[in-house]
Amino acid sequence: MNVVQSTLLAAAILISSACANHSVRARDVPEIQDAATDTAPGSRSPDEPSGVKSDAAELYDDVVVRDPWERYNRRIHRFNNVVDEYVLRHLAVGYSKAVPDALRSGVSRFFGNLNLPATAANQTLQGHPVHALQSLGRFVVNSTVGVGGILDLATRFGMPDYDEDDFGQTLAAWGWRDSRYLVMPLLGPCTVRDTAALVGDRALSPIGYVEDSGAANALQLLQLVDGRAQWLPMDQDRREAYDEYALVRDAWAQRRKYRVEQNLRGAGN
């Protein structure tokens, strides 16, 4: 078994043992049950000093997502940080040092191009067929003359470029607006709605249809490391944050809320 397969297998074991194949429900997890009854959104864990709790409340009193399972979420957040510190961040730093900026940008564009069919499907489901056709047009152009998306020739040709859409945004457009915050093992910030939408998103991912398992594993690992490398500039801010958990939660929630509301306004992606 090669290094890529070993790493992905370890990640799969961690995911399956921690969250039972992404099927976490409140009644199945004691920590979630406790948090749902005695932890208010935006508060800190009950085992932390009261002074720290009140100070954090003053700093982070504008939470834009419901977080009644905060005790459980903080534990998974700490677990994710350990995995990141000892595995993902080292891979991302090594990748950033070994691969030139121009090539890393091409890799990011390549994976962004792979997401365009899923984006087009979700744009259609959300009632934006024109945007869907434009996204498919970008995919065809960049996949052919753009060498698989490494070169973004579609933008040079004046074709509109929309943010990626996922099935979680589609569910929000269909009426599932308010959803509880949930930190997923290894996957990080999410909501119950977006967790349920992972099934639809994965079914639309071209990587899932690669028949060579070694190539598929390599692509998934490269996508993971490339994505982590893009967040390296934020590491210092996270280390210096008074409450790093609240910083990540609120930053993610604000961005997610903006994307969902943008779709609901019909302003495009």
Half-sphere exposure of residue 260: CA atoms within 13 angstroms, side-chain side: 24
Q: What is the Cα 108 distance to its own chain's centre?
A: 15
190 pLDDT above the threshold of 60: yes
How does the average pLDDT of the chain come out, rounded? 79
Q: Which comes out higher in pLDDT, residue 7 or 138?
A: 138
Domain boundaries, the chain: 3-41+65-264
User: 78-91, pLDDT tens digit by residue?
Assistant: 999 999 999 999 99
User: 193-203, pLDDT tens digit by residue?
Assistant: 999 898 888 88
**Confidence (pLDDT) at 53:** 43
User: 19-46, pLDDT tens digit by residue?
Assistant: 333 333 333 333 333 433 333 333 444 4
- What percent of the chain is modeled with pLDDT above 90? 54
**Confidence (pLDDT) at 47:** 42
CA-closest candidate to residue 66, choices 36, 46, 34: 36
Least-confidence region, from 48-52, 188-192, 234-238: 48-52
pTM for the whole thing? 0.72
Place of tokens 């047009």: 137
**Confidence (pLDDT) at 45:** 42
- Per-residue pLDDT, averaged over 185-213, amounts to 87
- Residue 209: band (very low, low, confident or very high) from pLDDT cuts 50, 70, 90: confident
- Residue 62: band (very low, low, confident or very high) from pLDDT cuts 50, 70, 90: low
What does the buried/exposed string (b/e) look like for 78-88 if buried means 16 or more CB atoms within 10 Å of the residue's CB? eebbeebeeeb
